[in-house]
Chains A and B, each alone.
Chain A
């Protein structure tokens, strides 16, 4: 029986949920379903996983927060990241 975790889309992006689920792919199987304003995660433990499910679930929730923070940093720093790369390779003659 899968555990159901409902997240508010105002707090978590679908990308953050997908990335957190991918990081746990060796321990948890997560089925992600976006609904109106919410994201529902159906979570099951992968067979032969030694760690208790509750502990993995707590780790997963922390990872969700981390991924949401990473999304925020990535979005805010994207223009300057592109600027750094453009400057770095500006004399490489690789530009189109």
Chain B
């Protein structure tokens, strides 16, 4: 005699389930749809099962019933935990909002030794007074940094080439460290530099003050030098030498590299990835070129569309996944940002993919002249003559005036994706972002028309690639799980 009642005893009556909030999208070239629940967790089900699900025709015997119930797409009477869990995950997802601004960019100079065609802001000038940040401006900006309630504060020095104003970097670092003796924040410094002007003395300073270096590598020597012209046409050689010395002095893992995807990069993605491997990097960020400043003026942005960039991205990802399957751990950052949202409850806090937008409330830019911008793209837009996202000046405005700037608050509110046409019904919305600055630059308003938006096409294209890769190959999902769960 069995100690338990038969299974039927524990099952509720057929079709007694209730739908929980979810959204769906048809997958390309497939009879399957992807469903995302209230917090962006997803499942794949056949199209016919979706119709049965919505019509309350599924029974406990159906293949997908248990998965839909455990994934919080349906609940049976008495399933109180599912709503509690969804609420908890929602709170976790938006937890970063209460922390407020973390990333503070200091544009310490616009001067640069490079004259890259796609750069929006650099100046070829010997005039330090005209394009360098002063100590007075830096001190005012630092006061604002420490007004942020965020326990973690990151200060990133940008340019131009920030090493051309290294004296100011030292001033900011030491002033911040002094102030932090009483503040006790989790303080982090980063210098975004090509490394071409890095001396051993500078690198020793970075080592002593735990300053990370974010450098630039665009690919093989010919491509890198074409993208990054400088006197002597030796940008690649300078990077190679600087990287070796930086790793020796500051530490191997204290230097990362970012690439800029120029039109000349489009047919070279495998070469670019191989170059990163050659230099011992274990990751790459297959970024697209931002549509601002000189990039628009020189037509280099229009040189490739979202569709062309997606071909570049997909070819690169196919290659990266093949490397991982051979046992070579190599990560793509843009995918990892999206996958973190798709496979965990964490928000990685990438400004372009945040909702509400991270402009101003997750990151802020202090320009060399004291102007404050809601994002790096905002100051680039200003260089084009559009100052919509200039939210104040450190010499003229208080913390309260800057962060409650009407332009900032309006853009954040108008672009909130849960109330945007198309976004509000999109199954990919939990993983996407608002990016009001991009849409303002392209369409003249914070929303834009999503079906025509390159941002939307790009994000949808990447998400569809990632979903397809996971659906077709469990090994790929295992690789992605390792990417998002670093230990």
Given contacts A83-B83, A84-B86, A88-B87, contact A25 B19 (CB under 8 A): no
Nearest A residue to B23 via CB reads A70
A80 contact from B20, B422, B425, B451, Cβ within 8 A: B20
Nearest A residue to B88 via CB reads A88
Compute how far the CA of A73 lies from the CA of B23 in the bound complex, rounded to whole angstroms.
Answer: 8
Given contacts A87-B87, A88-B87, contact A76 B449 (CB under 8 A): no
Compute how far the CA of A66 lies from the CA of B51 in the bound complex, rounded to whole angstroms.
Answer: 10
Compute how far the CA of A52 lies from the CA of B451 in the bound complex, rounded to whole angstroms.
Answer: 18
In contact, B38 and A84 (Cβ under 8 angstroms): yes
In contact, B425 and A19 (Cβ under 8 angstroms): yes
Nearest B residue to A86 via CB reads B87
Residues of B close to A26: CB separation below 8 A: 449, 451-452
In contact, B19 and A73 (Cβ under 8 angstroms): yes
The smallest beta-carbon distance between A58 and chain B, in angstroms, is 13
Q: Does A22 reach chain B (CB closer than 8 Å)?
A: yes
Nearest A residue to B91 via CB reads A88
Compute how far the CA of A19 lies from the CA of B426 in the bound complex, rounded to whole angstroms.
Answer: 11
Given contacts A80-B20, A84-B38, contact A22 B91 (CB under 8 A): no
A-B contact count (CB 8 A): 69
Q: Does A24 reach chain B (CB closer than 8 Å)?
A: yes
Q: Does B421 reach chain A (CB closer than 8 Å)?
A: yes
Compute how far the CA of A61 lies from the CA of B425 in the bound complex, rounded to whole angstroms.
Answer: 17
Residues of A close to B24: CB separation below 8 A: 66, 69-70, 73
In contact, B19 and A77 (Cβ under 8 angstroms): yes
Residues of B close to A66: CB separation below 8 A: 24, 26
Q: Does B445 reach chain A (CB closer than 8 Å)?
A: no
Q: Does B22 reach chain A (CB closer than 8 Å)?
A: yes
Q: Does B50 reach chain A (CB closer than 8 Å)?
A: yes
Given contacts A23-B422, A69-B50, A70-B425, contact A88 B90 (CB under 8 A): yes
Residues of A close to B425: CB separation below 8 A: 19, 67, 70, 74
Compute how far the CA of A89 lies from the CA of B24 in the bound complex, rounded to whole angstroms.
Answer: 25
Given contacts A25-B449, A25-B452, A77-B19, contact A84 B422 (CB under 8 A): no
Give the number of chain B interface residues (Cβ < 8 Å): 27
Residues of A close to B94: CB separation below 8 A: 88
In contact, A84 and B449 (Cβ under 8 angstroms): no
Q: Does B414 reach chain A (CB closer than 8 Å)?
A: no
Binary flags per residue of B5-28, CB closer than 8 Å to A gives 1, else 0: 000000000000011111110100
Binary flags per residue of A64-95, CB closer than 8 Å to B gives 1, else 0: 00110110111011001101110111101000
Residues of A close to B19: CB separation below 8 A: 73, 76-77
In contact, B18 and A80 (Cβ under 8 angstroms): yes
Interface of A: prevailing SS: helix
Residues of A close to B23: CB separation below 8 A: 70, 73
The smallest beta-carbon distance between B231 and chain A, in angstroms, is 44
Residues of B close to A80: CB separation below 8 A: 18, 20-21, 83
Compute how far the CA of A69 lies from the CA of B94 in the bound complex, rounded to whole angstroms.
Answer: 28
Residues of B close to A62: CB separation below 8 A: 26
Q: Does B54 reach chain A (CB closer than 8 Å)?
A: yes
Q: Does B84 reach chain A (CB closer than 8 Å)?
A: yes
Compute how far the CA of A23 lies from the CA of B449 in the bound complex, rounded to whole angstroms.
Answer: 9
Compute how far the CA of A72 lies from the CA of B51 in the bound complex, rounded to whole angstroms.
Answer: 11
Residues of A close to B18: CB separation below 8 A: 80
Compute how far the CA of A24 lies from the CA of B18 in the bound complex, rounded to whole angstroms.
Answer: 32
Residues of A close to B449: CB separation below 8 A: 25-26
Nearest B residue to A63 via CB reads B26
The smallest beta-carbon distance between B26 and chain A, in angstroms, is 7
Residues of B close to A25: CB separation below 8 A: 449, 451-452
In contact, A22 and B421 (Cβ under 8 angstroms): yes
The smallest beta-carbon distance between B9 and chain A, in angstroms, is 27
Given contacts A69-B54, A88-B88, A88-B91, contact A81 B38 (CB under 8 A): yes
In contact, A73 and B38 (Cβ under 8 angstroms): no
Binary flags per residue of A26-39, CB closer than 8 Å to B gives 1, else 0: 11000000000000
Complex A-B: 19 CB contacts under 8 Å: A22-B451, A23-B451, A24-B451, A26-B449, A67-B425, A69-B24, A69-B50, A69-B51, A73-B22, A73-B54, A74-B425, A77-B20, A80-B18, A80-B20, A81-B21, A83-B83, A85-B87, A85-B90, A87-B83
Point out residues on B near A: beta carbons under 8 Å.
Answer: 18-24, 26, 38, 50-51, 54, 83-84, 86-88, 90-91, 94, 98, 421-422, 425, 449, 451-452
For the complex of A and B, list the 4 residue pairs with the smallest distance between their C-beta atoms, beginning with the closest.
Answer: A87-B87, A88-B90, A26-B451, A77-B21
Point out residues on A near B: beta carbons under 8 Å.
Answer: 19, 22-27, 62, 66-67, 69-70, 72-74, 76-77, 80-81, 83-85, 87-90, 92
Inter-chain pairs besides A27-B451, A84-B83, A85-B90, 20 sampled, C-beta below 8 Å: A19-B422, A26-B449, A62-B26, A66-B24, A67-B425, A69-B50, A69-B51, A69-B54, A73-B23, A74-B21, A80-B21, A80-B83, A81-B21, A84-B21, A84-B38, A84-B90, A85-B87, A87-B84, A88-B91, A88-B94
